[in-house]
Amino acid sequence: MEHLAELDKKHFIHPTSSIQQQQANGPKVIMEKGEGIYLTDINGSEYMDAMSSLWNVNIGHGQDELAEAAAEQMKQLAFSSAFSTFSHEPAIRLAEKIASIAPDGLNAVFFTSGGSESNDSAIKLTRHYWRIQDQPERRKIIGLKRAYHGVAAASTSATGIKEFQEMAGEMMTGFVHTETPYEKTADEAIHDLRQTIETEGPDTVAAVMAEPIQGAGGVLIPPDDYLRQVRALCDEYGILFIADEVITGFGRTGKMFGVENFSITPDLMTFAKGVTSGYLPLGGVIVSDHVHEMLKEKSKGTLFHGFTYSGHPTAAAVGLKNIEIIERDGLVENAREMGGQMLRAFEKVQSELDIVGDVRAKGLLGAVELVQDPATNKRFSPDQQAAPKVIDQLHERGMICRPVSFEGTDIICFAPPLIINREQVHTMVEKLHDAVFAVQKELQVKG
C-alpha cells in the first residue's frame, strides 16, 4: 500500500480531484476487487458501492459473462475501423439493439467512448443539422443551471456548474443557461426558458439540452410535466431537444430510458455509462428518424466527425451482452421495485432525524438533502461541511456515496447497482441513518 500510494502521488493525475490533497495524503482507498454491489480494497476492507461507482456499474461488479464476451470478441476481432466504408458486426448489432429499446422514432446511433464525447457529438450534429438546412445562425445551445454534461469542449460549455467552466477559462461561444425547476417552480423555469429563447432570438437557437433527471447537480427530479412543457416549447419554436441520458439510460430510473418517466421523445438522446455497465468505455448519440432523414438527404460528402473508437468492436460486444443481462434478469423492473423501497426507507429516515430535508428517488436514482431546519428548509453553511461529514461517516461504515455540496446544498446521492436486493437496500439506508445521526449530533453540539 505504501509503495502504491507513493507511486500514485508521483505519477497519477486523478480525474476530478484535488491535486494538493493527493500530495498531502495520497489516495484514501486503492480498490482491488468488485463483486456484486461490493468493492474490496487492497487492505481487505469491503464497501457497499451505493453509487455504482460513477453512476455506471448498472449490472454490478464481477459479472463473468461480460469478461467472457470481451475475451471472445478480442480473440475474434479486437478492433477494426468503422470509418468511411468499413463496418463490423458488433457495432451493427449493438446499434440495432439500442434502436429496438429506445423510444419510438429513435433508430440510428452514432458511437463514442463516453458521455462527454457523446454530448459534444450531439451538439455538433445539431449544429450540422441546421447548417445543411442553410440555417448556420441556429447554433446556440440552451442548457440548464446545475446541469452536468461532461468535460470536453462543448459538453463543459453546456454544463451549468461554474467550477467546471472556470477550470480552463474561456468556454465555447453560443451556450446559455436557464433556470431549473429546483430552485424555482416548474412554471417559473418554463417562463425563464421562453424568455431565454426570445431574448437570444429563436432563429439563433439550435437546441435545448437537459438531463431528464439532473445527476451531478444533486439528483434533481423535475415535476412530472416540466419536460413535456420543455418539449412543447421546443416544438413551438422549431428547436431540437437533446436528452442527456448518460446517467438515466439503461434502467437506472426504473424505465429503460429516463425520458419514459415523463412521456416525451427527444430529437437526440445521448448515452454512455450503463450501456456497458462501465466494463469498457462506450457511449453514443441516438438520433430521431427525422434528424436521420435530414442527414441522409442533405449531409453531402464526408461527415467530418468520428472517433477512432466510434463503434469499438469489443466495447460493442460487451454492450450487447450487458443489455442482454439487463433484459434477461429483469433489472429495469428490479430498479423500479427496489427504488420504491429505497424511497420509503428514506422517508422513514426523514421522519426520524432532525436534519433531513427533501428525500427523493426515481427508480434507483435517489437523494437525501441535509438542512439545518427542515421546516424552513434553512441550509447549513458550507463551512459546516454537513454532506462531506456524512460521506466520511458512511465510509467508516463501509459504504461509498457521493456528496453534492456546491451552491449551498448538502445532498447525498444514491445510485446503487440495479441488482440490489431488499435486504441490501435495508442495510444501505440503515447505514445512512446512522451516519446522518452521528453528524446531526456533532453539528447540534457545535450548535
Tell me the closest approach of the beta carbon of residue 278 to ligand PMP, in angstroms: 9
| Residue 27, CA atoms < 13 Å, CB-side half-sphere | 20
Residue nearer to ligand PMP on the CB measure, 119 or 229 = 119
Residue nearer to ligand PMP on the CB measure, 164 or 346 = 164
Tell me the closest approach of the beta carbon of residue 119 to ligand PMP, in angstroms: 6
C-alpha cell at 425: 437496500
Residues 229-258 that bind ligand PMP (CB under 6 A): 244, 246-247
Greatest Cα pair distance in the chain = 69
Residue nearer to ligand PMP on the CB measure, 270 or 440 = 270
**Nearest of 417, 408, 441, 435 to residue 325 by alpha carbon:** 417
- Binding of residue 364 to ligand PMP (CB under 6 A): no
At 427, give phi and psi (nearest 5°): -60, -45
What is the C-alpha to C-alpha distance for residues 131 and 305, in angstroms, rounded to an integer?
Answer: 14
- Spell 279-315 as b/e; 16+ CB within 10 A means b: bbbbbbbbbbeebbebbeeeeeeeeeebbebbbbbbb
Q: List CB contacts of 36: < 8 A, sequence separation 6 or more.
A: 60, 61, 62, 417, 419
Residue nearer to ligand PMP on the CB measure, 161 or 371 = 161
Residue nearer to ligand PMP on the CB measure, 250 or 380 = 250
Query: Using CB atoms, what's the residue nearest to ligand PMP?
Result: 115
Tell me the closest approach of the beta carbon of residue 270 to ligand PMP, in angstroms: 7
Per-residue contact track with ligand PMP, 268 to 307, x per CB under 6 A? ----x-----------------------------------
Decide: 178 and 146 in contact? Cβ < 8 Å: no
**Nearest of 234, 251, 276, 440 to residue 352 by alpha carbon:** 440
**Residue choice 215, 266, 311, 339 for contact with ligand PMP (CB under 6 A):** 215
Residue nearer to ligand PMP on the CB measure, 155 or 372 = 155
At 109, give phi and psi (nearest 5°): -125, 135
Decide: 190 and 435 in contact? Cβ < 8 Å: no
**Residue choice 34, 150, 160, 284 for contact with ligand PMP (CB under 6 A):** 150
**Nearest of 58, 50, 422 to residue 252 by alpha carbon:** 58
Per-residue contact track with ligand PMP, 106 to 125, x per CB under 6 A? --------xxx--x------
Give the total of residues touching ligand PMP (CB under 6 A). Answer: 15
CA distances from 315 to 121, 149, 371 (A): 18, 22, 42
Per-residue contact track with ligand PMP, 53 to 72, x per CB under 6 A? -x------------------
Residue nearer to ligand PMP on the CB measure, 161 or 246 = 246
Binding site residues, ligand PMP, CB under 6 A = 54, 114-116, 119, 148-150, 211, 215-216, 244, 246-247, 272
